[in-house]
Amino acid sequence: MELGFDNEKYLRTQSERILERIAQFGGKLYLEFGGKLFDDYHASRVLPGFRPDSKVKMLLELKDEVEIVIVINASDIEKNKLRGDLGITYDLDVLRLIDAFRSIGLYVGSVVISQYSAQPAADAFQKRMESLGVKVYRHYPIAGYPSNVPLIVSDEGYGKNEYIETSRSLVVVTAPGPGSGKMATCLSQLYHEYKRGVKAGYAKFETFPIWNLPLKHPVNLAYEAATADLNDVNMIDPFHLEAYGVTTVNYNRDVEVFPVLRSIFEKLAGVSPYKSPTDMGVNMVGSCITDDGVVCAAARQEIIRRYYSVLCEQRQGLADADMVYKVELLMNQAGVSTSDRPVIAPALKKAEETGMPAASIQLADGRIVTGKTSALLGASAAVLLNALKALGGIQHDIHLISPIIIEPIQNLKTKHLGNHNPRLHTDEILVALSICAATNPTAELAMRQLQKLRGCEAHSTVILSHVDGDTFRKLGLNLTCEPQYQTKKLYHK
């Protein structure tokens, strides 16, 4: 894979910028972390060379001073919102994040439920967290937010929110995904801290949009596509332009809420340290891009992937037509279409030839392999085996797994486990392959190729089952699907 981003430079310069901001505020700093701390796969896809765990590596340098607060929106709990890259709900991701932070020695102080209005699912989530020994706080909706500044900055606004007890000087506020209420949590804490006579500051670590790239740069367009469900819009920061005469990029929610932040500082500290939303940020990503052409190409591919994702969500009843129209517009602005994703056409051609679902994988060297549906295997399992053969230089007509082994597994599925579909899923085929690898050198060679699939592109002519989609994600494949199911059933697993 061609690299377009210097990750080592990013770690160095980003750490320096955060330390500078901590020094700017004496006593306590609330640092809002946008995006994903551990698994920022979106950033690694649009910025080839960016490592998904880069942000958390920086925090480990300051771990004795760091306290983590995780925010989750009550409505996301209520509707079982999923993290598309991991396939788990936001409430389960909170548990995963807590475990992940603790495993590397970072202290998680509490969880905040934002936009709480007595949702039953939110109440159940709070009980579950408290039974596990995790402190939970509630923050409430504020009428007229973010325009009604006098109400927001009052005891009836932020003052109604529960004060989060923290014990360390650097409080990192993060969340399972966007729209969780991280900034509002930070601002609410500033209000409470100043009422208690504690000096505190706020800064924002938001990877996207990248403030020093053009408004319509493909990377910034890809961010809009990734947050189509939030109705985020990238825009020129009018406050920064007025204050400094310099054009920078921000997004609508930060621009809208900036007067609130400025008013809080002015009311509590007498003066605001920031003249614009851009001033709030500490993002150094744009300064670490080494090849704009590589980055632009990667971002355009991400926009196409996001388009297929929202099409499938619409087919599943999880997205509306407006989201589809928005991503279509972003594709037009980026100058791309579905024909620019090379892995799609071979899968569609194979499906047309066989009259059955098909799949394809584009390997790192550009080769594309396909898989078809058969009596033994689903298309996704077939293409996975074919990709491993191609990577290992194994002849296509060689059986990696003997039908003698596959048939008893099918018998187990249909006669004893109650499955109607006898074809093997991707996880089942990998288990069978690993068993064969114990005695078959060719199968063992194929197993060694699995790590080479990470970062490769894949496309299916039907929406894959949850287990197949999850397997592809775990292998690191960038999967897209046509927005249709193999059957006309209403219920799909």
Please report which confidence band the pLDDT of residue 253 belongs to, taking 50, 70 and 90 as the band edges: confident
User: Within its chain, how far is the Cα of 392 from the centroid?
Assistant: 31
Which residues neighbour 154 within 8 Å (Cβ) at sequence distance 6 or greater? none
405-431, pLDDT tens digit by residue?
888 888 888 888 877 777 888 999 999
**Phi and psi dihedrals of 174, rounded to 5?**
-135, 180
**Alpha-carbon distance 414 to 432, whole Å?**
17
**Alpha-carbon distance 368 to 361, whole Å?**
6
**Burial class of residue 203 in the structure, from the number of CB atoms within 10 Å of its CB (0-12 exposed, 13-18 middle, 19+ buried):** buried
Q: Is 479 helix (H, G, I), strand (E, B) or coil?
A: strand
Mean pLDDT for the stretch of residues 43-70: 90
In the block, residue with structure tokens 């809420």: 257
Decide if 276 contacts 239 (C-beta within 8 A).
Answer: yes
Query: For position 488, what pLDDT does the model report?
Result: 67
137-154, pLDDT tens digit by residue?
999 999 988 778 888 889
Decide if 228 contacts 178 (C-beta within 8 A).
Answer: no
Query: Which whole-number Å values give the CA distances from 214 to 221, 252, 373, in the listed order?
Result: 10, 16, 45
**Phi and psi dihedrals of 73, rounded to 5?**
-75, 130
What the block records as the tokens of 148 is: 């009604």
228 versus 128: the higher-pLDDT residue is 128
Closest by CA to 322, choosing from 233, 237, 398, is 233
Give the strand order in the sheet containing 29-33. 136-138, 107-114, 66-73, 170-174, 29-33, 201-205
**Taking 60 as the threshold, does the pLDDT of residue 491 lie above it?**
no
Kindly report the pTM of this predicted structure: 0.85
The bridge status of strand 82-83 relative to strand 88-89 is antiparallel
Q: Taking the alpha carbons of 155, 172, 174, 11 in that order, is the dihedral positive or negative?
A: positive
Query: For position 29, what pLDDT does the model report?
Result: 92
In the block, residue with structure tokens 């709480």: 116
359-400, pLDDT tens digit by residue?
999 999 999 999 999 888 899 999 999 999 999 999 998 989
In the block, residue with structure tokens 């529960």: 162
Mean pLDDT for the stretch of residues 227-255: 92
Query: For position 490, what pLDDT does the model report?
Result: 53
Average pLDDT, the chain: 91
Closest by CA to 264, choosing from 163, 190, 171, is 190
Walk me through the domains of the chain, giving residue ranges and CATH numbers.
7-215+231-289 (3.10.630.10), 342-481 (3.40.140.40)
Percent of the chain with pLDDT over 70: 98
Query: For position 493, what pLDDT does the model report?
Result: 56
Closest by CA to 325, choosing from 310, 340, 339, is 310
Query: For position 268, what pLDDT does the model report?
Result: 76
Helices assigned H by DSSP within 37-89: 41-46, 54-60, 74-78
Mean pLDDT for the stretch of residues 449-471: 95
Please report which confidence band the pLDDT of residue 198 belongs to, taking 50, 70 and 90 as the band edges: confident
In the block, residue with structure tokens 């899968």: 347
Q: What is the DSSP letter of 454?
A: T
Return the half-sphere exposure (C-beta side, CA atoms, 13 A cut-off) of residue 481.
22
**Alpha-carbon distance 311 to 324, whole Å?**
6
**Alpha-carbon distance 225 to 329, whole Å?**
10
Q: Taking the alpha carbons of 268, 272, 277, 278 in that order, is the dihedral positive or negative?
A: negative
36 versus 294: the higher-pLDDT residue is 294
Closest by CA to 40, choosing from 77, 14, 73, is 14
